């Protein structure tokens, strides 16, 4: 995204009245959802959830925007599916527009979400539609708001629609160790809304989220905007997957200073891609300190990233049309990225608007230029029309994502002759160990439109 904390719609006074669980008929076996009873998550008139646990024996639907009660904890059991329910209309007092939204879960300050799935029973937020008929925007998204540091005013709230009575929808504060809960083994599929120009909902939005929060083994796929977006905060994360998202797979803004290790970014030649001034604006990663020059707010945005794999598109011509940069560091963002792989983009990494930091120990392939705006040292680079021959990963020519074939993350493990191999144990580059089983095993889904 290129804006202030988006999800304008989630700060709303829900228009619907209170509802009960309202258990309905079983899910359609062809819909990609478990064959279980369905129920709407009950809320009060302001959209605040009145349950404390969502059980795995039910497929839960979110009508409009649902908020975890401030000071309360919502627990979602392993193996639970959550999908969109009824669309609701919300008045955006800033733009004067009416936004029609469904399937958005918001965890405000002081509230917590405990969504701990397992590798065998992940928690899945997904489309309600049948396999083969799912599309980005079928589900809304998940939003966590915390009290950790940002470089924006601590009273800043999500733009757009009025907040529910009694709910604080600002993000950011002074508690770096703030705890918004735990997400483990979670998939978020077909999320996102385009509300207005430069104002969309992401798959997983994190505003001022602190280090007390646990984020592990999370996949965001087929999103209508960004996969993961961090608006300030200090939260750390590991084992993240972003697949086939329209805009940036990972987006950092407003003073985010956490550490993320082991992450996979996969672009899809068949997906839509965001544009700016008629050209693609879809990146593997984008990082800004803030949106207004001279971009001097502190603390500076400075994500620490280790063992990422960013794969664009195998065909150089298609990549040049559909994608922007593998990494885009701009607007005085700082950075620290090491032991990572970037491949399949026209330009591997771009450094703009005074962005500075550490970029070393990485393997960078590009179709036209490994870097633009700066030339960091200590990296291995290759400019050619064929990324696969250079990278020498286990999958050979089959390392890029394609909906026409079965994708296997084990293909991304470096072979012993790969520039990403390192010592084969601790100094390898990219998201996957050369010989260990991939950490994506069993809980991820790389064919979400058809499973």
Q: How many CB atoms lie within 10 A of CB 447?
A: 13
Residues 292-319: tens digit of each pLDDT: 999 999 999 999 999 999 999 999 999 9
**Helix or strand (DSSP H, E) at 74:** strand 73-76
pLDDT of 19 reads 39
Mean pLDDT, the chain, as a whole number?
90
Higher pLDDT, 6 or 321: 321
Instruction: Tell me the Cα Rg of the chain.
Output: 21
pLDDT of 90 reads 84
Mean pLDDT within 20-32: 41
Mean pLDDT within 349-361: 98
Whether the pLDDT of residue 202 is over 50: the answer is yes
Mean pLDDT within 255-260: 98
Mean pLDDT within 216-222: 97
Q: How many CB atoms lie within 10 A of CB 288?
A: 23
Q: How many CB atoms lie within 10 A of CB 344?
A: 30
Please, which pLDDT band fits residue 14 given cuts at 50, 70 and 90? very low
pLDDT of 273 reads 85
Mean pLDDT within 410-435: 98
Whether the pLDDT of residue 252 is over 70: the answer is yes
Whether the pLDDT of residue 337 is over 90: the answer is yes
Whether the pLDDT of residue 379 is over 80: the answer is yes
- Give the helix, strand, coil percentages of the chain, each rounded to 5: 5, 35, 60
CA distance 340 to 211: 23
CA distance 97 to 48: 23
pLDDT of 166 reads 66
Region of poorest pLDDT, from 65-74, 257-266, 389-398, 404-413: 404-413
- Cβ neighbors of 427 (< 8 A, separation 6 or more) are 339
pLDDT of 94 reads 61
């Amino acid at each position: 995204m290129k804006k202030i904390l988006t999800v304008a719609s989630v700060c709303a006074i829900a228009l619907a009245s209170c509802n009960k669980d309202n258990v309905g008929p079983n899910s359609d076996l062809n819909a990609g959802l478990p064959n279980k009873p369905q129920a709407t998550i009950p809320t009060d008139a302001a959209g605040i959830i009145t349950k404390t646990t969502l059980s795995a024996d039910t497929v839960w639907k979110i009508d409009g925007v649902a908020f975890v009660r401030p000071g309360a904890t919502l627990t979602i059991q392993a193996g639970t599916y959550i999908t969109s329910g009824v669309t609701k209309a919300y008045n955006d007092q800033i733009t004067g527009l009416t936004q029609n939204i469904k399937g958005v879960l918001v965890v405000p300050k002081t509230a917590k979400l405990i969504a701990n799935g397992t590798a065998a029973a992940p928690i899945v937020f997904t489309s309600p539609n049948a396999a083969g008929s799912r599309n980005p925007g079928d589900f809304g998204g998940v939003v966590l708001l915390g009290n950790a540091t940002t470089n924006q005013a601590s009273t800043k709230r999500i733009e757009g629609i009025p907040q529910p009575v009694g709910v604080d929808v600002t993000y950011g504060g002074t508690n770096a160790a703030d705890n918004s809960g735990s997400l483990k083994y979670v998939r978020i599929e077909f999320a996102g809304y385009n509300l207005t120009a430069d104002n969309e909902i992401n798959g997983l939005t994190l505003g001022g989220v602190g280090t007390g929060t646990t984020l592990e083994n999370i996949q965001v796929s087929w999103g209508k905007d960004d996969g993961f977006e961090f608006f300030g905060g200090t939260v750390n994360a590991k084992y993240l997957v972003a697949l086939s998202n329209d805009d940036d797979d990972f987006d950092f803004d407003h003073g985010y200073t956490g550490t993320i290790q082991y992450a996979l970014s996969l672009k899809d030649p068949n997906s839509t891609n965001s544009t700016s001034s008629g050209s693609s604006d879809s990146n593997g990663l984008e990082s800004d300190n803030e949106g207004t020059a001279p971009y001097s707010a502190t603390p500076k945005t400075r994500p620490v990233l280790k063992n990422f794999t960013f794969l664009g598109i195998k065909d150089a011509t298609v990549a040049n049309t559909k994608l922007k940069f593998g990494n885009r560091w701009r607007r005085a963002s700082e950075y620290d990225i090491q032991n990572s792989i970037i491949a399949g983009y026209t330009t591997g990494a771009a450094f703009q608007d005074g962005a500075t930091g550490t970029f070393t120990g990485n393997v960078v392939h590009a179709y036209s230029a490994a870097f633009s705006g700066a030339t960091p040292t200590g990296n291995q680079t290759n400019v050619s029309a064929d990324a696969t021959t250079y990278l020498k990963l286990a999958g050979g020519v089959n390392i890029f994502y394609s909906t026409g074939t079965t994708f296997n993350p084990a293909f991304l493990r470096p072979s012993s002759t790969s520039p990403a191999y390192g010592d084969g144990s601790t100094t390898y580059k990219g998201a996957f160990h050369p010989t260990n089983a991939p950490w994506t095993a069993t809980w991820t889904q790389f064919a979400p439109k058809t499973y």
